[in-house]
Amino acid sequence: MKFIAIIPARYASTRFPAKPLAKLGGKLVIERVYEQVSSAIDDAVVATDDSRIYDAVRAFGGKVEMTSTSHRSGTDRCWEAYCKQGTEADVVINVQGDEPFIQPSQLNALKACFDNPNIDIATLVKPFSAEDGFAALENPNSPKVVVDSTMRALYFSRSVIPYLRGVDRSEWLKRHTFYKHIGIYGFRTDVLRAVTALPQSSLEVAESLEQLRWLENGYQIGVGISDVETIGIDTPEDLARAEEFLKSLKTK
């Protein structure tokens, strides 16, 4: 099975403009993402809508494709970049361009989901621990996932799911394994083409979670488990935390 990784990277961001070109430990954020992805997937391509990012990726020796500025999501940008890059693959892995600490183990867990021929799409989760605390569990910016007995996604929500009836909230993390969604996806190529043509769904609009569109349209989403904590970069404050995290890795 042939895999290709597409890394969407936009210049415009309300919370952190030019984020992919920010420096982290002396390298560009997008360069660190590219290096991490390339360590697990032979073929990696950045998909951008900005010439500054395009030139920067070319400068550090990465593969990059220019894409439209009008895409609604990174998934749509992925599909355009895949069509332009010129080689065929069985599965397209979509890795966000603000995940400089993504690990090969996570990408391999995602790839392993496609050993099941019935899986259309794959993603990752990380179990919440009791040490995380209830505030982390109920944070709406950290979507939760419930899965069935075969590790297929049943639902994604910004609310805490499931609700533990009759259990004090202080005990929830001790009494049940809750899964935090990690926003990395893999798509069989024909499925990626199909989902980019789907209109927004009612649940997607309600929760502002694109993956609900895929569930509502009957696609099977396999879920891999990761125990790795990564730091995504959405704000300048996240970048400062990432710098400290990088320093801590170097001292271990």
Structure tokens at 1: 């099975």
pLDDT tens across 111-132, in order? 999 999 999 999 999 999 999 9
Q: Note whether 220 and 152 are within 8 A (CB).
A: yes
Element (H, E) at 79: helix 74-85
Alpha carbon of residue 12 to chain centroid: 19
- CATH topology for the 1-99 domain: Spore Coat Polysaccharide Biosynthesis Protein SpsA; Chain A (3.90.550)
| Closest of 2, 1, 3, 58 to residue 185, by C-alpha | 3
Q: Which residue would you say has higher pLDDT here, 231 or 28?
A: 28
Is 103-229 the same fold as 1-99? yes
Phi-psi region of 81 (alpha: psi -120 to 50; beta: other; left: phi over 0): alpha
User: In the chain, where are the structural domains located?
Assistant: 1-99, 103-229
Q: Look at residue 102 and tell me whether its pLDDT is greater than 90.
A: yes
Q: Look at residue 230 and tell me whether its pLDDT is greater than 80.
A: no
Region 210-238: mean pLDDT is: 92
Q: Note whether 9 and 47 are within 8 A (CB).
A: yes
The DSSP secondary-structure symbol of 26 reads T
pLDDT tens across 172-188, in order? 999 999 999 998 999 99
Task: Note the pLDDT of residue 14.
Answer: 77
Strand ranges inside 67-149, DSSP E? 91-94, 121-127, 144-147
| Closest of 123, 103, 112, 142 to residue 195, by C-alpha | 123
Q: How many helices (H) and strands (E) does the chain have?
A: 10, 11
Task: Note the pLDDT of residue 251.
Answer: 65
Q: With pLDDT > 70 as the criterion, what percentage of the chain qualifies?
A: 99
Region 80-85: mean pLDDT is: 96
Pairing of strands 43-48, 3-9: parallel
Q: Which residue would you say has higher pLDDT here, 232 or 50?
A: 50
Task: Note the pLDDT of residue 189.
Answer: 98
Region 226-239: mean pLDDT is: 87
Domain at 103-229, CATH homologous superfamily: Spore Coat Polysaccharide Biosynthesis Protein SpsA; Chain A (3.90.550.10)
Q: Look at residue 228 and tell me whether its pLDDT is greater than 90.
A: no
The residues facing 188 across adjacent strands are 91
| Phi, psi (deg, nearest 5) at residue 142 | -120, 85
Q: How confident is the model at residue 250 (pLDDT cuts 50, 70, 90)?
A: confident
Lowest mean per-residue pLDDT among 87-96, 144-153, 204-213, 223-232: 223-232
| Closest of 130, 102, 106, 134 to residue 245, by C-alpha | 102
Q: How confident is the model at residue 13 (pLDDT cuts 50, 70, 90)?
A: confident
Residue in this structure with the two tokens 């355009």, named with its chain if needed: 80
Task: Note the pLDDT of residue 74.
Answer: 84
Q: What does the alpha-carbon distance between residue 11 and residue 30 come to, in Å, rounded to a whole number?
A: 11
Q: Look at residue 198 and tell me whether its pLDDT is greater than 70.
A: yes
The total number of residues shown for the chain amounts to 252
| Helix, coil or strand: residue 64 | strand
What pTM, to 2 d.p., does this model score? 0.92
Structure tokens at 149: 């007995």
Residue 162: cis peptide before it, omega within 30 degrees of 0? yes
Q: Look at residue 252 and tell me whether its pLDDT is greater than 70.
A: no
